[in-house]
Each structure stands twice: as structure tokens, then as C-alpha cells.
Structure 1
Amino acid sequence: MSDFPYWWLIALPVFFGLGWLAARIDIKHVLSETRSLPAAYFKGLNFLLNGQTNQAVDVYVDIARHHAETVDLQFTLGHLFRRRGELERAIRMHQKLLARRDLTDTQKQSAQFELAKDFLKAGLFDRAESLLTELQNTEYARQARSELLAVYQQEKDWQKAIDIAQQMRDESHSYQHEIAQFHCELAEQAFARSLPEPALEHLEAALAENRQCARAKLLLGEIAQAAGKVDDAIRLWLEIESQDVLALALVARKLLSAYDALGKNEEGTQLLMRLLQQYPELDVLDLVYERLMAQRGMDAAYEFVREQLKAHPTMPGLRKVLEAHLLVAPDEQKYELEIIGKLLTEATREQTLYYCSTCGFKARQYFWHCPACSEWETYPPVRGRKNRGAA
């Protein structure tokens, strides 16, 4: 007992007292902060939580008139104005914020970033780009680069898009698919201007980024065909099978045209039939049917689609069989078959469209770049396919 530190008997009450005092001071600070907020602030917050944006804006505008020093409130108002489409008011609010001398560096950068977003939504890309570029060495750098990437894609400035995407690379996103597509866009531009060499360089760069870039092989084949190298074009297009089997549908008609140019019409038809039998989901049934009708006649086309339907029953297959059967059916059956065909076409109209697997946007034509969500390579090259993962 003689070793017991009696000074603890004095120290413990002192520590408890200091803790109590600190807590009291902190609570008083919080209460004073809360009381300093006008009651209308919480009314506006309630409107926001209930999705009543217009009412919230009215409340906060009124508060801002009487509490000009509230920086956070001005940020909130600017965001609400932009969300409501009142871009001039949003721009003025953020410009007013930037003009303040009492902002911290972080607040100034935030105001600059928000103003850039206002300009973007207003379509003032040059002003937005200037502001975003100034944020490159700040804590808003990554967000600014993301917005810049969107700007360059909208402006179709693909080289700048490549540069900014390379800067954004990290462990979470390599951007290899996007960069490969940007090179493909540049290749298409060069090829359209009859500059095959730069086009080839960009396509090689695309494949260096993403060896599975089917679009690059498709374009390489087009350049080869334009140069009269038809055999090379066929070889390049057939290499797509090892990249993305279903993407063969995008070059199927080009393949047939190339075989025809070589005088190998039947070989081209046999190739497409073999591919369809090997890969039943390959979206070329219509093309094979059309080809057989032209080369071998109605009966051969009808027999092929019937056998295809037996082996792999699908709604597109059923539509094609009905279409073929209508051509060979007796006159007394055609009226009923036409009605059935119309009903079937109406019921399966959705299966004649391409779907973006990210946002669900549907279109009659195939897109490498979704016009709705701006994502790349999100359209499965199969009509009616809503999820690429199901391929």
C-alpha cells in the first residue's frame, strides 16, 4: 500500500472537471452555430429533402439577401439554379463567389469548378475548358480532367481526349477502351481525307491500347479493300472472330462484297452459313436469307431458315420463317399468314433494335459511342440484346 500513488486522488477529479468543461464549451459552440442559422434555412432544407427545388430556391434567395456572408448558401443556390436550368443566375452566383476576397483556396477552386460546370451546361465550352485547365494542379484536378474529357469528346477533339485520358489512368480505370476508340475516330477522319498512312498509324495505336478492339480491325479491312487488297481485307475482318465473335455481324455484308469482288460468291455464302450455324446468336440471319434468295431461290432460302429455327428457336428466326413461308404458301393461306406476320412483327419490334447495356438507350443503327450516356463499346452487336454479359 505504501507504493500507491496518492496524487491520483487529486488528479482524477481535475481530469474529469476539464473533460466536463470542454464538453460544455463544445456544446455551447454547436448551439451558437445552430442559432446563428436563420430558421428559414431549415425550411429550405426540408423543401430540398422533399424534392421541391423551386420552393427551396425561393427560400434560399431570400436568405441570401439578408445574409450575404453565407458562402455555403451561395454554393447551394448556384447548384440549384443550374439544376433548375437557370444558367445565367448560376453563372452570376458563382462569378460573385469567385470575386470574394475572403474565400479559402479550396472554396475558390470549388467556385471555379462549379462555374466551369455552368459554362459546360450552357454550351460555352471554351470558357469551361479555360477554367478546368487552371484546376490541373489542385485537389480538383481529377474532377476537372473528367469534365475536360467530356468536353473534348463533345467537340470531337480526339487527340486532346487521348492526352487527358492518359493523364487520368490509374488502378481503378485504365481507359484503354476509350483511348483505342479515340484513335479509331482519328483514323476514320484521316481515311475520309484520303490519308491512309496516318489512319494506319492510329489503328496500330488503337490495337496497342486494346488488342480486342474489333473496330480497329474493321477499319483496317476497309483501308485494305480501298487499296485493292481484297484478300487482306477478308483476312483482317475474319480476325474479328478471335476478338468478339458477335462483332462479325458488323462486317458480314462487307465480307460478302469482298468475296463477290474476287468472283467467289458461293464461298462467301458458305462462310456466312457456317458462321451462323457455329454461332447461332450471330446477327446475320436476315443477310443469309437475303443471299440465299438471290443465289439459290425461294425454296433453298425457306429450307435454310426452317432448319435454323429447328436447331435454335428464336423469335427473329420465327419471323423469318413466317416471311419465307408466306412466299411459298397457297393463295388461300396468305391472308391469315399476313395477319400473323403483322402481329408477330409488332410484338417483337423491340428485338429489331440495338440497346446500350449501360443506359438502355435503343437505336435502329449500331453505335460505338452511345449518344445518350456517352459510354464506349456498350452496344452488343446483336439486335434485341439488352445485356452484353448475356452473350
Structure 2
Amino acid sequence: MNEWMLLLVLIAAIAIGWGLGRFSLKKRHRSSTVNSDSSALNKDYFAGLTFLLNDEQDKAVETFMRLLEINPETVDTHIAMGNLFRSKGETEKAIRLHQNLFARPTLSRALTHKIQLELARDFFAAGLFDRAERLLIELNQIAQDDLRLQSQRLLIRIYEQEKEWHKAIEVSAHKLLKEIPEQKAALAHYYCELAEQQLTQNDFSQAKKTLKQALYNDSKCMRANWICAELELKNHAYKKAIHLLQRIPEQDPRFYSVVLPKIAEHLSTKELHNYLDLILRTAPSHTAISLKASLIEQERGADEAFEFIAQQTAELKAVPIKLAANMLQLVTAPSSEVQNKLQRVVQQLITSSNKAHYYLRCQKCGYKSQQVVLWQCPKCRHWGTLRPDDLLTTVSTPIKNIL
């Protein structure tokens, strides 16, 4: 049984016990019928404690809930119990409890709105998005600012789940949300999602307009530049596309690992050598070393490629874990000397670290992913917080465009 869950139930139990004690003291002069009712209440109370001590938490909670009269003073306890059910995945119980509260006509509007929000959360947790949406839209029109903001955030989560990007954009335009920096960043991604849908429909003209909206809301949106570059590549405007791609790591050098393979396709061998040399001096990464080693192997052979990798690992005082696979692919018919080098490096890789390499890491919650590109964190749901986990040293100065 979770400690916080036990504490919550104990607090409720103690509160009920204290109330029953006061009830007995104040009502001793009443009739035997009332005393009989009090005795029944005490009996239920001790039954609840017995369930609790026997670790039968569901029975204990249900017993204490029966004893708690619904009034403005106990509503928060009822809501907390409902939230407890929801957190345990028992959404049906949470819905029944919150619906029971929501149907009480004697509660104030403020309390009713609070319960309505919790009921919407129950429906959301149960996957009943349409029912949650109806409650939240109504709440967004009548509630105070605090609850309205919470309802708008939950509405946006529903629209994200259902990929209703137009609706997500509409909600994001509300004055309570539009000045929040992280929501402005999310809004740019909603436009990017729309643009990608338009591109699949070959509506290039509308996609360009949508991407302008993304950059208007967040001028640093790397994803918008990425999609714009893809558009230019489709139009065979390679120089413009490379310029857009190179703008991305200028904002965050960790994105070199994402853009480098695409840029490499459209540079001459000499241009690519020069570009990689610049990157290796200021933002060395697994990807940059691998590309450079591949170029050297194609031009001067596997021995030279291994010498380059050995030099890089010595200068960085680190063993690039991801390069093990690249090394194995690099050498097709190694000489005995190269093979010996390969064995030594792979052995060093094995002994130096047992951690898997992750391509992306969320800057908000630390979530790690082995996908190369991911724009929304699956764990904390923030947009644009996943960064490539590919650099081998701290970056000092961003690299300017070479074309």
C-alpha cells in the first residue's frame, strides 16, 4: 500500500473519529434512537479501521466515504478520494464518485466547477474524450481564470491526442495561454503538424503559409526550418535548403547530428570535408566523426580511417560508444593490423561502458529515446524539449553557414 495513500485514508479516518467523538459527547441527552444511530456510526468507523489494518484499502475507503456527509466542508475529501481512484486506474469508481458530487444542487458554483474539472479528468483518463471535451468547453465559458486555464490545458491535451490541430491552435489563442512561453512553442508545433498534413496532400502553397505562422509564433522553431528545408529540397533549391538546415544547429549545436546526413547529400566532397573539420573543432559528435571516417575510408582506405578515429578518441579523452557499429561497417576486408586495432577498440568500448546510446534526451524530464527525430516528449508531453544526445564535448562557438 502506498505511504501517501495510507496517510490520506488515515487522515480521513482520524477526522471521522474525532467528529464521531464530538457527536457522542454533544448528543448524550438525546433519545435512545439517536444514540443507536451514533452507535451504528461508531461501528462502521471501527469496521473501516479494521479494513485499513488488514490492508483492504478499497473496503476501508468505501466505508469512510459512506460516513462522510457531503457538504462544503467535506467536498475536498471526496474529490481527493476520487482522484485517488483515478490515479490507481479505477476510472469507473472515480467517475461515479465525482458524478455523485456534481449532481448535488446545494454546492456553490465554485465547488461545482471544481468537481466538473475533476470529472473531465476522469473521462480523459478513461479515454472518453468527447465527454471530457463537452465538460471542458462549458467550463471554459463559465469558470474563474484558474479553473479556466486548467480546462484549456486539458482541452489541448485532448486535441493533441486526436490530432485536431486547428482546435488546438484555437484554444492556444486564448489570452490566458498565449503569453506562456512554453505554450507559444507548442503552438508553433501545432502549425508544423498542420503543414506536414498539407504536404502529404501536396498542398505546398498552403504548407508554406502555415510554416510562416509557426515561425511567427516562435522564430526559433527548429522544426519549422526543417520542414521548410524539405520543401526546398523537393523543389530542387538545394542551396536554399542547405542554408535553412544550417540555421538549425546555429540555435542548438546538438542538432548537427540530425542535419549533417541530409546536408552531406548535397555538398561536394571538398565542401563536406571543410564543413566536418569546422564541426569537429567546435562541436565534435559521433555523427561527425563517423561521416569524416567514412570519407577517409572511401578516399584513403580503412587503415587511415582507423587512425583518424583513434586520434579523435585520444583528443576527446572519450570512447565514442556509437562508433563501434560504424567501425564494424567501415571495414569490409581488414588487414590483420586493422583487425587487431578493431578488436582493441571494441574491447575498450565493452569495458568502458555498459550503457546503451540514446539519440535524444528530454531537457525537461530526462526521458531518453533511440529515435533520431521526435518533436514531443512522450513522457512529459512538452514540445521541442528533446535534444540529440550525440555531442562528445561542450560546445563553445556556433558554426556559421559555409554556403
249-258 or 269-278, which deviates more = 269-278
Task: Quote the residue 2:66 is aligned against.
Answer: 65
Query: Does the 8 A contact of 1:97 with 1:111 survive in 2?
Result: yes
Is structure 2 residue 167 aligned with structure 1 residue 160? yes
Select which of 235, 251, 275 maps to 1:271: 275
Larger Rg: 1
Once residues 238 and 189 of structure 1 are traced to their aligned partners in structure 2, the CA distance between those partners, rounded to angstroms, is 24
For residues 216-231 of structure 1, what are the structure 2 equivalents within 5 Å? 216-231=224-239
Structure 2 counterpart of 1:6: none
* 1:343 corresponds to which of 350, 354, 366: 350
Q: Distance in 2 between matches of 1:133 and 1:241?
A: 40
**Residues 94-117 of structure 1, C-alpha deviation per residue, up to 9 Å, x if partnerless?**
222222221211221122111111
Q: Distance in 2 between matches of 1:113 and 1:189?
A: 32
Partner of 1:293: 297
Q: 2:133 aligns with which of 129, 135, 147?
A: 129
Q: In 1, distance between residues paired with 2:361 and 2:369?
A: 7
Matches within 5 A, 1:320-331: 327-330=334-337
For 2:320, the equivalent position in structure 1 comes to: 316
Q: Which residue of 1 aligns with 2:22?
A: 35
Q: Extract unaligned runs of 5+ from structure 1.
A: 1-30
Letter in 1 for 2:279: L
Letter of the 1:252 partner, please give it.
Answer: L
Identity %: 29
Question: CA offsets per residue over residues 50-97 of structure 1, 9 Å max, x none?
Answer: xx9974542231233355545524323322221222211211122222
User: 164-173 or 241-250: which moved more?
Assistant: 164-173
Q: Aligned-pair distance for 1:288?
A: 2.6
Query: Cα distance 1:44–1:148, how it changes in 2: closer, same or farther (>3 A)?
Result: farther
Q: 1:319 to 1:224 in 2, by over 3 A?
A: closer
| CA spacing shift, 1:162–1:279, aligned 2, 3 Å | same
8 A Cα contact 1:283 1:382, kept in partner = no
- Alpha carbons 2:229, 2:240 under 8 Å: kept: yes
Give 3-state SS (helix, strand or coil) of 2:266's partner: helix
Q: Quick one: distance in 2 between partners of 1:156 and 1:42? A: 50
2:145 aligned with 1:144, yes or no?
Answer: no
Within 5 A, what are the aligned runs for 1:1-391? 35-36=22-23, 55-70=56-71, 72=75, 73-136=77-140, 137-139=142-144, 140-167=147-174, 168-169=176-177, 173=181, 175-259=183-267, 264-281=268-285, 283-316=287-320, 327-330=334-337, 333=340, 337=344, 340=347, 343-344=350-351, 347-365=353-371, 366-383=373-390
- Identify the structure with bigger relative contact order (alpha carbons < 8 Å, sequence gap 6+): 2
Q: Distance in 2 between matches of 1:249 and 1:282?
A: 8
TM-score by length of 1: 0.76
- Deviation per CA, 1:254-298: give whole Å up to 9, x if none: 111122xxxx23323432232222322574222332333234432
Structure 2 alignment gaps of length 5 or more: 1-17, 25-40, 399-403
Partner SS for 1:355:
strand
1:63 maps to a residue whose letter is F
Aligned partners of 1:97 and 1:90: how far apart in 2?
11
1:169-194 CA-partner distances (Å, limit 9, x unpaired): 36664622111122111111211221
Task: State the Cα distance separating 1:338 from its structure 2 match.
Answer: 7.3
SS in 1 for 2:169: helix
Give 1:372 shift. Answer: 1.7
1:123-171 alpha-carbon deviations (Å, 9 max, x no partner): 1111101101111130220111111111111112222222222323366
CA displacement at 1:359 relative to structure 2: 2.2
1:123 and 1:160 mapped to 2: Cα distance? 18
RMSD over aligned Cα atoms: 3.7
SS of 2:227's equivalent?
Answer: helix
Supply the distance in 2 between the matched residues of 1:280 and 1:34 (Cα, whole angstroms).
71
**TM-score of the two chains, using structure 2 as the length reference:** 0.74
Q: Shift of residue 36 of structure 1?
A: 4.7
| Larger deviation, residues 297-306 vs 116-125 | 297-306
Report SS of the residue matched to 1:380: strand
Name the count of aligned residue pairs.
350
Aligned AA (1:362): K
Equivalent residue, structure 2, for 1:21 = none
Report the AA paired with residue 349 of structure 1. Answer: K
Q: CA deviation at 1:306?
A: 3.0
Moved more, 192-201 or 314-323: 314-323
